[in-house]
Amino acid sequence: MTATTVELFTHPMCSGCQQALTALRNLERAGRLTLVVTSLGSPLGRKRATEVGVSVVPTVRLGTELRLLDGPSDLRTLLAELNDTSSDDARSKAAPRGP
């Protein structure tokens, strides 16, 4: 199974970033995703954010989709979707294949 890559854009002064980081790291430890953390607190992080169109944190990038985590409900929704995707991938890998 190939883990979904999630890029989390954060900033040291961001009040919601730590909660998002902790939750996504837990999923990474469980093997559900690959997490890339990009901090806008560094010049390289700001450059990366500009390249992909991030201007507010915490923001998650899934493929080409950007999603602002504008509160706990957005984070819960994202985590549920990531868990569902991981479970669907695992089920499809385990499903018997036809001839």
The ranges assigned to domains in the chain are 4-92
Domain covering 4-92 in this structure, CATH number:
3.40.30.10
Over its length of 99 residues, how does the chain's per-residue pLDDT go in tens digits? 567 899 999 999 998 999 999 999 999 999 999 999 999 999 999 999 999 999 999 999 999 999 999 999 999 999 999 988 766 554 444 444 444
Cβ proximity of 23 and 73 under 8 Å: no
pTM of the complete model: 0.83
